[in-house]
Structure 1
């Protein structure tokens, strides 16, 4: 039986969605973030030394990192589903966006989260103006322009297709869901980018996505 070590409001929601799309049976071991730090509990270190989620256990195989888990599941159980045929232009786009999600998109969103929290973080009163100025300056001069660049780029990539590797859903779209949901939640993805908004509406309406939400529990980014 496949077991997913699942943290609320995290990347592991994508793994549940993929398992639902593939129609695979699985069990969930749940973990909750610390309400103050928003970090994963130390209990996850018993599963993987880094204490991060998701971690997938399939018999004697343990896989961490959502991208690696996605590739593992599609390779082992996909039977050709959720990825384009090898050697096609769509296959190259598939591989690109499968890795772009974490390699290029998520670092920008993490910086946005860090600097946004810096503005309200508890610091000595005399340091608050300096921390706020640094956080706002970093966002204005670097983080926000980079986010705009990436969101404009992604909007353009859906000009001719409904999904990132063609006209049908692939695992690359599942991998892309988390950064786009995060961008819609806290980084300016709004109605000014109708293709990306339509993409999110499209995936959120899928029965497998809804089933994964029901099993996974709290996932604020789907709101």
Structure 2
């Protein structure tokens, strides 16, 4: 039985979604973040040395990293669905690009934004607070926010060309891109962009997405 080691409010939600789209049975093992640090619990290190989620086990295989997991699931269980055929077609090139872009380019400025927000609101001695907040604000205005504007402007223009990232057909690339767009809608105002907003509405309306929410539990980024 395939097992998903699922951390609440994390990237592993899109793994559940992919499994629901594929319609294959799986076991769900839940883990909760530490309420103070928001980090994954140490128990996950027994599954994978980095102790992070998502991780799946499928027989003797243990696979981490969202993109690698989604590609594995589609290649093994997709039966030709949810990805263009392997090769050099324009659709496959776009598919590969968005599968890597999601974590390689879109997520770093969003993570920096989260760090800056936490620095700005962190508890610290009163004489350090102004310095910490100034550093966080400078990070945001000089680098993070311009990068987010650049990336989400680019994503918006690409979604204006087609409803789905790899072309006219829904694919695992859309599942992979869901997390940065959901995070961007909360941290970077990306939901104000009409094509991004329409994409989020489309994916949130999918029955498989709804089933994944029911299995995975609370997922704040879906709001």
Q: Same fold (TM over 0.5)?
A: yes
Distance 2:65 2:161 in 1: 30
Distance 1:144 1:7 in 2: 28
In structure 2, the partner of 1:133 is 134
In structure 1, the partner of 2:217 is 217
In structure 2, the partner of 1:201 is 201
SS state at 1:53 partner: coil
| Cα deviations by residue, 1:102-153 (Å, 9 ceiling, x for unpaired) | 0001101000000011001111111100000010011000000000000000
| Aligned pairs (5 A) from 1:83-162 | 83-86=83-86, 87-162=88-163
The RMSD of aligned alpha carbons is 0.7
* 2:190 paired with 1:178: no
Distance 1:165 1:204 in 2: 18
CA drift of 1:77 comes to 1.0
| Cα deviations by residue, 1:148-199 (Å, 9 ceiling, x for unpaired) | 00000000001121001111110010000000000111222132x1000000
SS state at 2:191 partner: coil
Distance 1:28 1:95 in 2: 28
In structure 2, the partner of 1:66 is 66
* 2:22 paired with 1:18: no
Distance 1:30 1:127 in 2: 38
SS state at 2:123 partner: coil
SS state at 2:196 partner: helix
What is the number of residues matched between the two proteins? 222
In structure 2, the partner of 1:39 is 39
In structure 2, stretches of 5+ residues that fail to align are none
TM-score normalized with structure 2 length: 0.98
SS state at 2:177 partner: helix
Distance 1:126 1:189 in 2: 35
In structure 1, stretches of 5+ residues that fail to align are none
Deviating beyond 3 angstroms after TM superposition, the runs of 4 or more aligned structure 1 residues are none
Distance 2:65 2:99 in 1: 12
Distance 1:156 1:120 in 2: 34
Distance 1:88 1:159 in 2: 21
CA drift of 1:7 comes to 0.1
SS state at 1:99 partner: helix
CA drift of 1:85 comes to 2.9
